[in-house]
Each structure stands twice: as structure tokens, then as C-alpha cells.
Amino acid sequence: MNTDDLINMLASGDTRPPAMPIRRILAWLAVSVLGSFMLMALFLGVRSNLLQVLALPAFWMKFIFTLALVAIGWRLTARLSLPGARTGLVATLLALPLLALWSIAAVSLMTAEPGERSELFWGSTWRVCPFLIAGLSVPVLFAALRAMRELAPTRLRIAGAAAGLSAGAAAAAVYCLHCPELAAPFVGFWYVLGMLIPTTAGALLGPRVLRW
């Protein structure tokens, strides 16, 4: 077929673009976060003293940190799903919550008694925390990659990584409702490590599953 014939074919009939499947994508994401919450509630359990914990600033620091990463991560993922959309500014914004939390962590380590520092960093659940966050991120990562396939990512590895990071941040937010740790140094290292597991998984999966 000559290219002019192809052009005639594509330009005949309805040339209006199909609507963005935004509602469908939001529905998938909502269901997947709910799935992540259900996994947490069933296998780990919501903290019994959650109501008391809600009164502590340390909890809100941790929760807002994860939510900020969720918001910026999803924005970045959305931009990476559109060809040619600018991503530099949003990607830079990702550093803000990290820097803020690490500053708090640094201050709390410096002001703590030397004997208490290791407790602030290791807590009592460092062995499981990253893996539980990674586990809770599975449904969200799956939904995010599925949603991206409806669009047109052109940098597949970075796009997959961004989807993984957003899924990890959402899982970490869900995990906050179970996690007993409140120290900034713990969150700044083990939570971040937990989010990096789905980020790596996304970077590995991206080139395979996002091709179009």
C-alpha cells in the first residue's frame, strides 16, 4: 500500500481522537489500592491503637511523606505516559519529600542520646518492613502498568520505574496504618528501600510489558 493510500484511509471517517480512558484508569487504580489495603488488613492487621497514633505528629510526618510521593509519583507516571510531555520539573519535585524527611531524620539522630541512635534507625521491624511494602505494592504496580498500556509511554524503562515508585509509595501509605515504627531515620531508609523494590521491578518490566 502506498503511504498516500494509508493517509487517505486514516483521514477518512471519524478523525476525532477517542476520549482518554481516564475514568477506567482511575477505577483500576482505586481498586488496586483497595486491594493493597485489604491485603494489609487481612494479613498484617490495622494497628489496634491507630486512633491514639493519629494524634502523634510523627505519624503524620510519615503519612504525609508517603502521600507526597504518591502525588508527585503519579503525576510523573502520567507525564511519562504521554509522548513528548515534559517531565524534568516533576522528576525534580520528587526530591523534596525525600530531602525534607532526611533533614528531620538527621536532626533527630543528632539530638538523640548516642545510645538511642541505633534504635531510631533499626527500629524493631527493619527485617520485614521493605518486603511488606513491596508485597503490598504488587496490585498497584499491576494496575499502573495496565493503565499505562492504554496510553503511549516512549521511555519504557523510566516509565516502568515511575509506575513502580508510585505503586511503592501508595503501598507505603497503606502500610503506615499497620507499621509500629515512628522514627524518621527508620522511615527515611527502610520505607524508601521498600519503595525501591517495586521501582526496580517496574524498570525491569517496563521494556517488556509497555511496548506498543
Partner 1 sequence: MQRIDKAGIRSDVDQTELRLRTLFIQGATGDEAAYRQFLQTTAAHLRAFLRRRLGSWPDEVEDLVQESLLAIHNQRHTYDTDAPLTAWVYAIAKYKLIDWLRRHARRETLNDPLDDENEIFSTADSDAREAQRDLRKVLDLLPEQQRAAIIHTKVDGWSVRETAAALNMSESSVKVAVHRGLKVLTAKLQNES
Residues that bind partner 1 (CB under 8 A): 1-4, 6-20, 79, 81-86, 151-152, 154, 211-212
Written as one letter, the residue type at 23 is: R
Q: Minimum Å distance from CB 9 to partner 1?
A: 5
Nearest to 130 by CA among 81, 181, 84, 90: 181
- What's the closest the beta carbon of residue 147 comes to partner 1, in angstroms? 13
Q: Which is nearer to partner 1, 92 or 118 (CB)?
A: 92
Q: Residue 12 Cβ, how far from partner 1 at the closest point, in Å?
A: 5
Based on CB atoms, which residue is closest to partner 1, 11 or 110?
A: 11
Sign, CA dihedral 121-69-179-47, equals positive
C-alpha cell belonging to residue 48: 489496634
Please give the Cα distance from 191 to 194 (Å, whole number): 5
The answer to whether 78 and 90 are in contact (CB under 8 A) is: no
Nearest distance, CB of residue 3 and partner 1, angstroms: 4
Residue written as grid cell 502506498: 2
Residue showing cell 482518554:
20
Residue 43 or residue 212: which is nearer to partner 1 going by CB? Answer: 212
How many residues in total does the chain contain? 212
Q: Which is nearer to partner 1, 131 or 212 (CB)?
A: 212
